[in-house]
């Protein structure tokens, strides 16, 4: 998503100020310590419920599939997405070529409602290196229904070449229903700052009235202290306690599978790191905020796929969940953007008696903006 800001006055001087104000707006919106600028609470508006099926997989696009689009991984993903009748899909460690191939497979199979607008990709590992044949590797989201513009966030830098990202997009016809994907670091010193940055952005969406479902590989386990501020305080079991957050993971309520923790999502459990129930580590998640859950929710990790030439397709299992949520039915509002624009104006010009009016346009590409 790109915010285009135009001052009403014209002239060379005002064009310079436009550039300055645009930069200040971006800074004012994103430079707070909590990663997301806190906006005012959105007033209550009519809501309805919707049930979504979410499909998530770290596909190990380069590490185990070597950038291949023909070894079986892409076909296995497409078949499972359709077989599980997924509404939303999140992929981690997907090569750009594999993303394009999956777009083609799903479009040809008739899965999306709009074959021209159902997928977004954000590079995390940059192009120009040995990974993914020199192309980017990153996170991706897919939606059965058309998507609106994507929000793309870079998480606190862990010093590695791969830059961890959060990728989000709302449904085009239901702009307060938003789906996000992320892949967090394995560098221990930065795990907490990254998960807190993701949580802060989700809370900002919540303040705007959005219902957000988040899926991804966190490289952390549910019972780790770094996750305590994420998991709902209502999750309090011997396998996952001390929680103080607001989010339910869709597999946190299954008493038959390590209650509060969930089923393992690694393909081959490590006996030295098998989770609190000894069944294997869970590091992949699907979250929804507790006050947006309006019915049943559940999740399961699927058996490891061996459709890649008889070998494991990934060191992660597919995680599939279902949740009924309440969604604001009001149309999207540019209130938060106007608020940030006012803040940028005060930074640029101070509290002067003269107002510099702004107009805003929310677009996917700059070419779509009004000149």
Using the CB atoms, write b or e for 74-97: b if 16+ within 10 Å: bbbbbebbbebebbbbbbbbbbbb
What pLDDT shows up at residue 345?
54
Query: Could you tell me the two tokens for 29?
Result: 């919106």
d(C-alpha 316, C-alpha 124), whole Å: 19
In sequence order, the 6+-apart residues with CB closer than 8 A to the CB of 107 are 115, 118
Say if CB 191 and CB 226 are below 8 A apart. yes
- On whether the CB atoms of residues 330 and 46 are closer than 8 A, the answer is yes
CB neighbours (10 Å) of residue 43?
8
Strands 165-171 vs 247-249: parallel, antiparallel or unpaired: unpaired
> Going by DSSP bridges, is the β-strand pair 119-125/137-143 parallel, antiparallel, or unpaired?
antiparallel
Query: Token pair for residue 146?
Result: 């058309």
Do the Cβ atoms of 157 and 189 come closer than 8 Å?
A: no
Cβ 183 vs Cβ 92: under 8 Å:
yes
Among 66, 43, 104, 92, which Cα is nearest to 330's?
43
**CA-CA distance, 217 to 259, in Å (whole number)?**
20
User: Which residues, 6 or more positions from 178, have their beta carbon under 8 angstroms from its beta carbon?
Assistant: 168, 169, 170, 171, 205, 210, 211, 212, 213
- How far is Cα 19 from Cα 53, in angstroms, rounded to an integer? 42
pLDDT in 10s for each residue of the chain, 371 residues: 444 333 333 444 444 445 444 444 444 444 443 455 555 554 567 889 999 999 999 999 999 999 999 999 999 999 999 999 999 999 999 999 999 999 999 999 999 999 999 999 999 999 999 999 999 999 999 999 999 999 999 999 999 999 999 999 999 999 999 999 999 999 999 999 999 999 999 999 999 999 999 999 999 999 999 999 999 999 999 999 999 999 999 999 999 999 999 999 999 888 888 999 999 999 999 999 999 999 999 999 999 888 898 899 999 999 999 999 999 998 765 555 555 455 545 555 555 555 544 444 455 544 444 33
3-class DSSP state of 115: coil
Do residues 182 and 166 touch, judged by C-beta distance below 8 A? yes
Paired residues of 301 in beta bridges? 319
What kind and span of H or E run contains 7?
Answer: strand 2-7
Nearest to 333 by CA among 56, 41, 13, 85: 41
> So what's the pLDDT on residue 305?
86
Per-domain boundaries in the chain: 2-40+333-368, 47-328
At the topology level, CATH places domain 47-328 in: Deoxyribonuclease I; Chain A (3.60.10)
* Residue with the two structure tokens 């990974």: 131
Token pair 């010093």 is at which residue? 159
The Cβ of residue 256 has, within 10 Å, a number of other Cβ atoms equal to 6
Interior/surface letters 122-134, b for 16+ CB within 10 angstroms, e for the rest: bbbbeeeeebbee
* Residues 6+ away with beta carbon under 8 Å from 110: none
pLDDT on residue 20: 46
3-state secondary structure of 213: strand
């Amino acid at each position: 998503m790109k915010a285009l800001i135009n001052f009403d006055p014209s002239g060379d001087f005002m064009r310079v100020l436009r550039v300055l104000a645009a930069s200040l707006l971006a800074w004012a919106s994103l430079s707070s310590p909590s990663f997301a600028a806190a906006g005012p609470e959105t007033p209550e508006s009519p809501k309805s419920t919707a049930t979504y099926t979410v499909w998530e997989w770290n596909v190990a696009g380069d590490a185990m599939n070597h950038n291949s689009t023909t070894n079986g991984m892409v076909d296995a993903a497409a078949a499972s997405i359709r077989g599980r009748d997924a509404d939303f899909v999140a992929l981690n460690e997907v090569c750009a070529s594999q993303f394009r191939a999956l777009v083609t497979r799903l479009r040809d199979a008739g899965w999306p409602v709009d074959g021209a607008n159902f997928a977004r990709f954000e590079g995390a590992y940059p192009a120009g290196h040995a990974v993914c044949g020199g192309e980017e590797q990153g996170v991706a989201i897919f939606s059965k229904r058309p998507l609106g513009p994507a929000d793309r966030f870079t998480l606190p830098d862990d010093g590695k070449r791969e830059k961890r990202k959060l990728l989000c997009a709302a449904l085009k016809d239901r702009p307060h229903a938003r789906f996000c994907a992320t892949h967090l670091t394995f560098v221990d010193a930065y795990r907490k700052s990254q998960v807190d940055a993701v949580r802060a952005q989700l809370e900002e969406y919540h303040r705007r009235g959005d219902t957000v479902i988040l899926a991804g590989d966190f490289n952390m386990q549910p019972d780790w202290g770094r996750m305590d501020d994420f998991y709902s305080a209502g999750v309090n079991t011997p396998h996952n306690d001390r929680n103080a957050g607001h989010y339910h993971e869709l597999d946190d309520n299954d008493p038959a599978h390590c209650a509060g923790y969930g089923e393992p999502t690694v393909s081959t459990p490590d006996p030295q790191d098998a989770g609190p129930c000894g069944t294997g580590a869970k590091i992949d998640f699907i979250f929804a905020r507790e006050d947006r859950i309006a019915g049943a929710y559940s999740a399961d990790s699927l058996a490891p796929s061996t459709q890649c030439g008889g070998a494991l397709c990934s060191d992660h299992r597919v995680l599939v969940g279902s949740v009924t949520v309440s969604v604001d039915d009001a149309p999207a509002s540019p209130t938060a953007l106007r608020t940030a624009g006012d803040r940028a104006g005060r930074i640029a010009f101070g509290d002067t008696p003269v107002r510099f009016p702004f107009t805003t346009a929310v677009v996917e590409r700059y070419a779509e903006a009004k000149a």
